[in-house]
Amino acid sequence: MKKGKVFVISGPSGVGKGTLCHELMRKYPSLAQTTVSVTTRAPRPGETEGKHYYFRSEAEFDKMLKEGLFLETVDKFTHRYGTLFSEVEQVLDGGKNVILEIEMIGGANVKKHIPEAVLIFILPPTLEALTARITGRGSETESEIRLRQAQVEKEFDQAAPYEYFVVNDVLDDAVENVKAIIVAEGLKDALSDVKQNYFGRD
Ligand code: ADP
Ligand code: 5GP
């Protein structure tokens, strides 16, 4: 079976990554699948265990780390986050593309382990729009918002390893652009897929 590819989606907090991925999956369910990460932060209202994250204590996270269960981990905003190998492999083995909605340090680490991973950076139309979105979401405290805003310029400076830049202005346009990237990247393997089918070799 043809294996899927790994796509990393990163961008500043509040830019709309979660919204975009959710809409992409809703519109094109067979295109790709997102994974569920582990985090030590508390669930926000409406977030559920196993759907948005696996919510774990620091000690549990440490244990999983020692057991080698993570493809990558990061400490961010005083919390820890990690992508499980098992989540990624399950999707790839099913022949589907996988979308990792993770921050940039994680993105760079995924690229190190999986060089063929494709890195996509989501940009806000303006800085003002970004501030309005993060404030409007209403899920962080004032000090958490300030912490996240202070990161934005740094994140833009570190975005060079990313290969695609998608502006999330009109949500549906951003969804279509990400879809176009995933489809185009899949076509890069078309010759080898056809040769496998016809001749049983690359
Ligand atoms: P992230 O996952 O990047 O932190 P979210 O997906 O939680 O961001 O989005 C932050 C807020 O911005 C949410 O309230 C969401 O509804 C809103 N949002 C997302 N995309 C758009 C868009 N294209 N236009 C306007 N608001 C948006
Ligand atoms: P939030 O707390 O808003 O859900 O996520 C904060 C940041 O952590 C976001 O940029 C999100 O993409 C990132 N993130 C979520 N899960 C992971 C993960 O498993 N690994 C890494 N590196 N970042 C993650």
Rounded to the nearest whole angstrom, what is the distance from the C-alpha of residue 102 to the centroid of ligand 2? 5
pLDDT for 1 equals: 63
For residues 108 and 124, what is the distance between their CA atoms, to the nearest angstrom?
Answer: 21
Sequence ranges of the domains in the chain = 1-33+96-202, 36-95
Token digits of residue 4: 């899927």
Token digits of residue 142: 């004032």
- pLDDT beyond 80 at 113: yes
Average pLDDT over residues 95-107: 95
Per CATH, the number for 1-33+96-202 is 3.40.50.300
Domain 36-95, CATH 3.40.50.620 — does that match? no
Closest CA to 155 of 202, 196, 122: 122
- Ligand 1 atom nearest the C-alpha of 136 is 14
Closest CA to 12 of 120, 121, 107: 121
Half-sphere exposure of 170 (CA within 13 A, CB side): 4
For residues 96 and 35, what is the distance between their CA atoms, to the nearest angstrom?
Answer: 12
- Minimum mean pLDDT among 24-28, 59-63, 73-77, 189-193: which range? 189-193
> Which ligand number lies closest to the CA of residue 83?
2
Average pLDDT, the chain: 93
Rounded to the nearest whole angstrom, what is the distance from the C-alpha of residue 120 to the centroid of ligand 1? 17
Work out the burial of residue 110: count CB atoms within 10 Å of its CB; fewer than 13 is exposed, 13-18 middle, 19 or more buried: buried
> Which ligand number lies closest to the CA of residue 135?
1
pLDDT for 107 equals: 96
| CA-proximal residue: ligand 1, atom 20 (nearest) | 16
Q: Could you read off the pLDDT of 145-162 as tens digits, one per residue?
A: 888 788 888 899 999 999
| CA-proximal residue: ligand 1, atom 11 (nearest) | 133
Q: Tell me the Ramachandran region of residue 148: left when phi exceeds 0, alpha when psi lies from -120 to 50, beta otherwise.
A: alpha
